[in-house]
Chains A and B, each alone.
Chain A
């Protein structure tokens, strides 16, 4: 198991956003983290990447807990944030070099991969520019290249499709498939259910800081036989049901 989350309770303040969250992502598996705005997806991700400290429970990445060995824990994770985050003063080339240095990657081999990715996303002629001044979509592509050139064992991807053109969306999905076939674990939060349904092996539906249901599509279909076949139908049934229950 590459990501294991057990009884996670946490959030930004004393009042927990996440209340006893449990799920895992195996090697070579893509798991979709699905939920309404405010369900706790980003909070979960912030806990996994180590920005937040759990109030209770455990998070293990590759069997390591952050508190025991921060370096080994962080070494395994490649992260694509929801909003692109870049250093204002670094060129595209320097940004990628920085990541290679930070993860201690072999620069020659990594640059080879990076160049292929840059070409794929049509960024190869922008190496000397400041990506901080790029458009939203192009910044997102930089984040994708930055993450996927590392060949990390664990990918945490937060809502990656916003602002990407259709070609880039397709390329990103291919990259995710490649990473998966290489044995990497991918946790992806998204609202684009059609993509999630097609590319994720399992789904974790978060609601109000708790895992409402988790499993493969057939398992979800079995759990909600009256909801319909597609992930979107099941999701809407669930979301509406919760809303009615709260009214």
Chain B
């Protein structure tokens, strides 16, 4: 592809981006999730409908709520430039032609933004009629204003992409939030027609500003790259709630105050992998978060659940889930050449991992048992809890983990 054909470059990237989105959306909207969502939306819709029935004559807070929702909605859908870090090198010579690329980016972002505006408007429509007592014409005028406001806001973002038109952060925020607030305030409290006029003026003004500059603008490359990376990161984080996103490298946290804990955990042993695995598990965002999250959730559940056998099941499950999900960490350092270079046997690596696993799981089990017996004190409960968890630890660490780790090691 010739580098200067920036129209095609954006189209190419967009198809790749949409492919990415589709791939992950398929993973998010699994059968079970869709069914759950179906019921959730149904319940929500029912509640909305019942709520609306009480607003036959409109309510004084109707316009205020509408203003709030519309203003927030106007911020949905950011400018998706699909700019990549390498562009600062490879597209720099084509900087003067980048407006063609940016125009596509703007149009795509506007389209996506418009869809969201339309969707929210549709949901809001019954409320506009009942809560705000607006006519359909007025509601339609508000929809058109919404789209024009979105156009102004997106143009405001594009404006930030050029050195000549960049504004200070405060001005930028004022534009992004000020235009919707003023437009919708006028539309809801004065008349939708005047709101529409304001929206037309702001959209026209933002477009005129761009037209003045973006033919000869110099791009704020670093800003563009950072913003796009931040936008993608938000997407990754969202998808990461449902599935594993490899682009989302886990963060490492220093947590200096926990250093004594790691020293205690690795003990006096001369096995280097004890040092590596304690620090690794303790400072890796994913692994540490997993242990803490599941332990805390388990403890909270135990506070509210008093049925002895259900509590026991929760404790066993929490310990199993933590242990099971920590096992792959054994392979965390396979990619590091020094792991293979050290004159250390695989046996001592396995041993060190199981040592660390034992401490973590025992700690979790102790915390859970303590909560359970503090909430529902009895000798019998303490005895059964301790026995069951000790048995689980012995089976999991002594037998199951060994089986799995050996498979991983080979």
Q: B-contacting residues of A (Cβ < 8 Å)?
A: 49-51, 70-75, 77, 79, 81, 85, 87-91, 94, 97-99, 101-104, 128, 130, 132
User: Of B88-96, B238-246, B317-325, B341-349, which stretch is located at the interface?
Assistant: B341-349
User: Given that A51-B337, A51-B340, A132-B252 are contacting pairs, would A87 and B276 also be in contact in the complex, using a CB cutoff of 8 Å?
Assistant: yes
Q: Which residue of A lies closest to B333 (CB)?
A: A87
Are B256 and A128 touching (Cβ within 8 A)?
A: yes
Docked pose: A85 CA to B340 CA in angstroms: 12
Q: Mask for B275-292, Cβ within 8 A of A = 1, else 0?
A: 110011011100000000
B338 within 8 A of A: yes
Give 7 nearest A-B pairs by CB, closest first: A101-B272, A74-B343, A102-B342, A89-B283, A75-B343, A102-B272, A71-B343
Q: Which B residues are in CB contact (< 8 Å) with A75?
A: 343
Q: A-contacting residues of B (Cβ < 8 Å)?
A: 252, 254, 256, 270-272, 275-276, 279-280, 282-284, 333, 336-338, 340-345
Q: Which residue of B lies closest to A77 (CB)?
A: B341
User: Given that A130-B254, A132-B252 are contacting pairs, would A71 and B345 also be in contact in the complex, using a CB cutoff of 8 Å?
Assistant: yes
Docked pose: A104 CA to B344 CA in angstroms: 10
User: Given that A87-B276, A90-B276 are contacting pairs, would A101 and B341 also be in contact in the complex, using a CB cutoff of 8 Å?
Assistant: no
Docked pose: A184 CA to B226 CA in angstroms: 48
Q: Which residue of B lies closest to A71 (CB)?
A: B343
Are A74 and B342 touching (Cβ within 8 A)?
A: yes
Q: Which residue of A lies closest to B282 (CB)?
A: A89
Q: Which A residues are in CB contact (< 8 Å) with B338?
A: 79, 85, 87, 99, 102
Q: Which B residues are in CB contact (< 8 Å) with A101?
A: 270-272, 275
User: Given that A97-B275, A98-B272 are contacting pairs, would A89 and B341 also be in contact in the complex, using a CB cutoff of 8 Å?
Assistant: no
Most chain B CB neighbours (cut-off 10 Å) among A70, A75, A89: A89
User: Given that A74-B341, A79-B341 are contacting pairs, would A104 and B270 also be in contact in the complex, using a CB cutoff of 8 Å?
Assistant: yes
Docked pose: A50 CA to B96 CA in angstroms: 52
Q: Which A residues are in CB contact (< 8 Å) with B340?
A: 49-51
- Which of B284, B337, B345 contacts A89, CB < 8 Å? B284
Q: Which B residues are in CB contact (< 8 Å) with A130?
A: 252, 254
- Which of B252, B270, B343 contacts A88, CB < 8 Å? B252
Are B337 and A81 touching (Cβ within 8 A)?
A: yes
- Minimum C-beta distance from A189 to chain B (A): 15
27 contacts between A and B (CB under 8 A): A49-B337, A49-B341, A50-B340, A50-B341, A51-B337, A51-B340, A70-B343, A71-B343, A71-B345, A72-B343, A74-B341, A74-B342, A74-B343, A77-B341, A81-B337, A87-B338, A89-B282, A90-B276, A90-B279, A98-B276, A99-B272, A99-B338, A102-B272, A102-B338, A103-B343, A104-B343, A130-B252
Q: Which A residues are in CB contact (< 8 Å) with B283?
A: 89
- Minimum C-beta distance from B270 to chain A (A): 5
Q: Which A residues are in CB contact (< 8 Å) with B342?
A: 74, 102-103
Q: Which residue of B lies closest to A97 (CB)?
A: B275
